[in-house]
Amino acid sequence: MKTIVFLAPDGLPRPMPRYALKIEYDGGPFAGWQRQAEHPSVQAAVEAALGKLEKGVPSIAAAGRTDAGVHALGQVAHCDMAKPWEPFRLMQAVNHHLKPAPVAVVACALVADDFHARFSALERRYLFRLVSRRAPLVHDRGHAWRVGHALDPVAMQAGADRLLGRHDFTTFRSVQCQADSPVKTLDELRVEAVPYQSGTEFRFHVRARSFLHNQVRSFVGTLERVGSGAWTPDDVTAALEARDRAACGPVCPPDGLYLASVGYEEDPFG
């Protein structure tokens, strides 16, 4: 395994081992993953915790830059430390200094210096939780999107199937998206219905190598219209083919969106 070499304060070269971190967080208190000057971010919280362990820890990189209010079950980031750490001990130390922020490192592994949390990733998986029930959410408030009417999961899956494959997803792309191209390949968009207290929870499982800004929330907001009967699956096809942001259904709130996992050629966490 290669190691990065840096110059220590005494001017002598030292190895700089790289670690992958699997991170879970509640996105509610944060303005997103990416560090910002005037707003709290998950990245800043993790970097501050690492800074308590070693001075001058370089900026960390993550697999996905989740937006404000978006959660993570399996975000992956990498960091370079000035000295070797036993991975479990590093995880425990970072978690100690993350308190009381709703962020936790759930796994840590020593990786090769050419591992990059973002550029080495082969796929990202997102989960969106949509609850259909009349009563407001209590325990899942801020962690799922509630609608007060019934939804048809068969119709939503039929609409979702129209989006699979490689397409120009301009319709489902935020006007603020900075991606070079709107063309992406959607590998999975599966709708799962499960019982929920006095209602039904619909879980949207979405998988692709990469995503456009607000793409998943645009998908779910559009499919909710299909499930309610306001749209048909043919309307989803028409919206996709329009390549026009104005043709998109409502963009749903971030509350129910989770970065579920990130896939690599070899799982760094075993």
The set of residues, in sequence order, having a beta carbon less than 8 Å from that of 138 and lying 6+ positions away, is none
From 26, 67, 168, 255, the catalytic residue: 67
Cα→Cα distances 187→160, 162, 164, 165, 249, Å: 11, 12, 6, 6, 21
d(CA 2, CA 15): 9
143: number of Cβ within 10 Å: 17
Angle at CA 137, nearest 5°, toward 134 and 140? 145
Q: Give the residue among 73, 61, 65, 66 at the shortest CA–CA distance from 114.
A: 61
Cα radius of gyration (the chain)? 20
Using CA atoms of 204, 210, 216, 219 in order, give the dihedral in degrees to the nearest 10: -90
d(CA 14, CA 84): 10
Find how far residue 55's CA is from the centre of its chain.
29
156 within 8 A of 227, measured Cβ to Cβ: yes
Return the SS3 of 107.
Answer: strand
234 among known catalytic residues: no
Active site residues: 67
